């Protein structure tokens, strides 16, 4: 059943830009062309908008304006926080702690620091994808420069106990950074309550365009500058500010933080409906990640006996845009490091699907999606030699049949 219009179910990869944000950006482009570093009127007008935008972003996470630094992406914010802290203590503190399920913006940053001689500890996660504060406490050493643990995972949506993890670091006087790129716009963020030293944000995950991010650096935290050049961002991140996108970022964060709880409740209800319908319709299906500590808009499934890439292409053909993992890794044949870290075997990790919903989803669309998904999964299974072996009772499935659909399947094959 092909649907008549496209259904976008990949909001974790990126979100559509809000109409109000587009209006804001275009009006800033027209009216605020002055360089914020210029001392004449046009420049000062831009400077004033820059600082106003900074204050808006700061207040949305309970920070102060001077603690917000605009960057070009979530990736840049992660790089800056980790490299800036590590390189500040080069030769003295050569140990970094992170988790096995971080985004590549963090993992590859750590790998590049390892080449400079840093020792990296990758904390394991439990089967829901949660990092244990006790394991973190045990891993901290006198030479630990920084700990970086994400607030919410981009693939399986698991939300970490950031407050507890940050408190372990504070007690041991180690800097704590969190990548809140997926959390912002979905979860309330209060940096005082969380007790973090640094926090990364990316605009395109909550209705701003791609290519604008921010790093919160708690006042008093000393890290190296990331970009050398002019004196922008209080001498800490050089480069003429992208004012239209900064103003758009401030507008988008304001919109996404307004009625956050109402939106989160709606998303949670729709997501649970989707999970229930998928799990009840398609046998040998697994929900990956925590049911309880999960981003409101995230569902991540593994379907045994099939391959995620084919599933994605067929869903696309039927009008649905989903993902098999993070956008950065799709196209690669390696199974997701996140799914392997929560203990999935390779063959199950390969058959996974991430569905990240928005508030425009309805029960009717969920029904259409589940019908299409079931058809595709059945078609792919019928082409799978592994499935044939299972049907002929030669193998036992890895994912148990939650409801006994086997008789029904055998009739159909
Ligand atoms: N961190 C997480 C958890 C993400 O999901 C992403 C993007 O998918 C990033 C960092 C990178 O952000 P950006 O796309 O702004 O570079």
pLDDT tens-digit readout, 98-155: 999 999 999 999 999 999 999 999 999 999 999 999 999 999 999 999 999 999 999 9
Residue 46's pLDDT is: 98
- Cα(413)–Cα(121) distance, rounded to whole angstroms? 48
Residues near 125 by Cβ (< 8 Å), separated by ≥ 6?
99, 100, 101, 131, 158, 341, 342
The best mutation among 103, 210, 327 to test binding of ligand 1, ranked by most ligand atoms within 8 Å of the C-beta, falls on 103
The CA–CA distances, whole Å, from 41 to 35, 37, 232, 239 equal: 10, 11, 18, 21
State which residues of the chain have pLDDT below 70.
1-4, 325-333, 401-413
Residue 189's pLDDT is: 98
Residue 141's pLDDT is: 98
- Cα(273)–Cα(275) distance, rounded to whole angstroms? 6
- Please count the other Cβ atoms lying within 10 Å of the Cβ belonging to residue 363: 12
Query: Whole-prediction pTM value?
Result: 0.94
- Cα(179)–Cα(77) distance, rounded to whole angstroms? 8
Active site residues: 328
Atom of ligand 1 nearest to the CA of 102: 3
The best mutation among 75, 108, 300, 337 to test binding of ligand 1, ranked by most ligand atoms within 8 Å of the C-beta, falls on 75
Residue 403's pLDDT is: 46
Atom of ligand 1 nearest to the CA of 210: 15
- Domains of the chain and CATH, by start: 19-257 (3.40.640.10), 260-412 (3.90.1150.10)
Q: What is the pLDDT of residues 348-396, one digit of tens each?
A: 999 999 999 999 999 999 999 999 999 999 999 999 998 998 988 878 8
């Amino acid at each position: 059943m092909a649907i008549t219009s496209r259904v976008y179910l990949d909001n974790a990869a990126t979100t559509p830009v809000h109409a109000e944000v587009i209006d804001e950006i275009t009006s800033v482009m027209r009216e605020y062309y002055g360089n914020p570093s210029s001392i004449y009127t046009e420049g000062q007008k831009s400077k004033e908008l820059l600082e106003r935008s900074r204050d808006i972003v700061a207040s949305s996470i309970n920070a102060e304006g001077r603690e917000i630094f605009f960057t070009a992406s979530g990736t840049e914010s992660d790089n800056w926080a980790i490299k800036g802290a590590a390189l500040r203590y080069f030769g003295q503190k050569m140990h970094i702690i992170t988790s096995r399920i971080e985004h590549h913006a963090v993992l590859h940053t750590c790998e590049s620091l390892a080449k400079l001689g840093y020792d990296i500890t990758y904390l394991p996660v439990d089967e829901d994808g949660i990092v244990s504060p006790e394991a973190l406490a045990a891993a901290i050493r006198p030479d630990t420069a920084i700990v970086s643990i994400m607030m919410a995972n981009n693939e399986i949506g698991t939300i970490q106990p950031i407050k507890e993890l940050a408190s372990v670091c504070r007690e041991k006087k180690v800097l704590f950074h969190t990548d809140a790129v997926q959390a912002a716009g979905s979860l309330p963020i209060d940096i005082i309550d969380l007790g973090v030293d640094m926090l990364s944000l990316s605009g395109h995950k909550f209705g701003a365009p791609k290519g604008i991010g921010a790093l919160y650096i708690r006042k008093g935290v000393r890290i190296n500058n990331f970009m050398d050049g002019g004196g922008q961002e209080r001498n800490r991140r050089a480069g003429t500010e992208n004012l239209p996108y900064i103003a758009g970022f401030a507008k988008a964060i304001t919109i996404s933080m307004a009625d956050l709880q109402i939106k989160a409740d709606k998303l949670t209800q729709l997501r649970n409906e989707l999970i229930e319908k998928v799990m009840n319709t398609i046998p040998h299906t697994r929900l990956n990640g925590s049911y309880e500590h999960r981003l409101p808009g995230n569902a991540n499934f593994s379907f045994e006996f099939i391959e995620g890439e084919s599933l994605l292409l067929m869903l696309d053909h039927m009008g649905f845009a989903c993902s098999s993992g993070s956008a950065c890794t799709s196209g690669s044949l390696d199974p997701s490091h996140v799914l392997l870290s929560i203990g999935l075997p390779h063959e199950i990790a390969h058959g996974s699907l991430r569905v990240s919903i928005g508030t425009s989803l309805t029960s009717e669309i969920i029904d259409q999606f589940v019908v299409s998904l079931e058809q595709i999964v059945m078609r792919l299974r019928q082409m799978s030699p592994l499935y044939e072996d299972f049907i002929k009772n030669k193998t036992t499935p890895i994912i148990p049949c939650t409801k006994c659909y086997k008789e029904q399947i055998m009739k159909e094959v």
